[in-house]
Amino acid sequence: MSAFSATLTGPVLVIGAGLLGASAGLGLRNLGYTVYISDISPTVEAVAEDIGAGTSLRAVAEEWGAEAGFVLEPQLVVVAAPPDVTAELVVKALGEYPQAFVIDLASVKSAILADVLTSGADATRYLGTHPMAGREKSGPVAARGELFAARPWVLCEHPLARRELVKLAQQVAVELGSTVTFLDASEHDRTVALISHVPQVMSSLLASRLQDTPLYALGLAGQGLRDTTRIAASDPNLWVQILAANAQPVVQTLYGVREDLERLISTLEAPTDSGSRLDIAQLMSEGNHGVARIPGKHGGAPRAFAQLTVLVDDTPGTLSRLLHEIGELGVNLEDLRLEHSPGAPVGMAEISVNPSEHEKLVDDLTSRGWKVVT
């Protein structure tokens, strides 16, 4: 009986050649590992091979086939499929490749782990993981080997998982550029419910109100509406699977939202009642406290930068010139947000800098002819 290595040497079989799978394949190939890639759709699989994400399993099977005595023995199987079908693909891979470790990349973990554990498959060779990368794009054409760079990758240890598997999975994540976090499956699901799934729901709830909003009204919309509805442009099909698979933690949080919403509605139905103002102020204030807990840049304590907003013509090179001049003035750009004027061909560049540099920068930029709007 062969021992399991804790070190990735390959080959790797990626099952599912969408954005995540194809990017993982690309990234691992770029690192020098042998990668095979497979997808339920022959076209997707062929495209993934074309972009360099790995050797198409269909093509290899065609060429070599069982008659030639070919048996693929991957060291690691990466299941990169939608949440709905992930567990079954994991179980199938555990059966088909008895020497392989199997990880998955789905964004919900408890449901899949539960299915694997009750399947009778060898769960010691399975680890649930979640690389928190990639967004609105989908499909292999958008795949990049660097997709995972500087992103978090969560590994969900469970009591049966072999030590070697956990180390190997960690190596994969680190070599692909991620920062690794360990959470058990339930912690993970509660976490993503709060930081990803409920925000998605709130954004969609808000955006659906806009369906009947007159266009002239939407024409006055500023950054507040855009920010709060940006992620409402997400793929319904994917999110149906995610929300259904993570229903419990999500609905627990939504109970709290419903309670607050009910209280606010009652208050606004009688806004002049005594205590109404306090109610509203309390909700706003709790929101202040919540948002202030979100870490600042790079996970540090939220830092108070000073902002200035500079008007930039919407012509090529203007923003670049502004940033260049800020650099020339020796000031470090801590953050940048670009807004567009609803009615004029200009943008507003909201620059964040160290508070100690704020006043002089405003003066310097103004004397160089820039319009500092606020």
Subset of 62-121 contacting its own copies (CB under 8 A): none
Least distance (Å) from its own copies to the CB of residue 292? 7
User: Considering only residues 30, 124, 307, 354, which one is a binding residue for its own copies as defined by CB under 8 A?
Assistant: 307
Judged by beta carbon, residue 98 or residue 296, the one nearer its own copies is: 296
**HSE of 23, CA atoms in CB hemisphere, 13 A:** 25
Of the pair 34, 196, the CB lying nearest its own copies is at 196
> Degrees (nearest 5) of the Cα angle 360, 366, 369?
145
* Strand ranges across the sheet with 101-104: 55-56, 35-38, 12-15, 76-79, 101-104, 126-131, 152-156, 179-182
Q: How far apart are CA 362 and CA 309, in angstroms?
A: 9
| Residue nearer to its own copies on the CB measure, 98 or 271 | 271
Among residues 67, 291, 356, 369, which is the contact residue for its own copies, using CB under 8 A? 291
Backbone φ and ψ for 236, nearest 5 degrees, come out as -55, -40
| Contact pick of 244, 303, 355, 363 for its own copies (by CB under 8 A) | 244
- Angle of helix 110-118 relative to helix 185-192, nearest 10 degrees, comes to 150
Q: Copy the structure tokens of residue 345.
A: 């061909």
Residue 235 C-beta: closest distance to its own copies, Å: 8
Q: Which stretch binds its own copies (CB under 8 A): 9-17, 40-48, 159-167, 200-208?
A: 200-208
Among 30, 124, 171, 196, binds its own copies (CB under 8 A): 196
Q: Is 356 in the site for its own copies (CB under 8 A)?
A: no
Residues 5 to 44 in contact with its own copies, rule: CB under 8 A: 19, 23
For its own copies, which is the closer residue by CB, 34 or 138?
138
Contacts (CB under 8 A) with its own copies, residues 149-188: 149-152, 154, 179, 181, 183
Of 57, 126, 52, the C-alpha closest to 89 is 126
By CB under 8 A, tell whether 268 contacts its own copies: yes
Cα 229 from Cα 213, distance rounded (Å): 14
Residue among 30, 124, 186, 228 that touches its own copies (CB under 8 A) = 228
**Residue choice 43, 50, 303, 314 for contact with its own copies (CB under 8 A):** 314
Region from 2-10, 28-36, 43-51, 195-203 binding its own copies, contact rule CB under 8 A: 195-203
End-to-end Cα distance, the chain: 70
Task: Select the span of 9-17, 64-72, 95-103, 248-256 touching its own copies (CB under 8 A).
Answer: 248-256
Kindly state the smallest distance separating residue 361's Cβ from its own copies, in Å.
13
Per-residue mark of binding to its own copies, 130-149 (x: CB under 8 A): --x-xxxx----x-x-xx-x
Token pair of 107 as six digits: 């964004």
How far apart are CB 355 and its own copies at their closest, in Å?
Answer: 13
Asked if 329 is part of the footprint of its own copies (rule: CB under 8 A), the reply reads no
Give the DSSP H or E segment for 245: helix 236-245
For its own copies (CB under 8 A), the number of binding residues is 135
Token digits for 152? 């978090």
Instruction: Provide the minimum distance between the beta carbon of 25 and its own copies in the complex, in angstroms, as a whole number.
Output: 15
Residues 6+ apart with CB under 8 A from 302: 292, 293, 294, 295, 296
Closest CA to 283 of 304, 300, 266, 297: 266
Q: Which two tokens stand for residue 173?
A: 């994540």
User: Token pair of 169, please?
Assistant: 């999975």
Q: How far is the CB of 266 from its own copies (least distance, A)?
A: 9
Q: How far is CA 136 from CA 106, 133, 222, 239, 269, in A?
A: 15, 10, 22, 11, 38
Phi and psi angles of residue 231, each rounded to the nearest 5 degrees, phi first: -75, 0
Q: Which of 30, 124, 186, 276 binds its own copies (CB under 8 A)?
A: 276
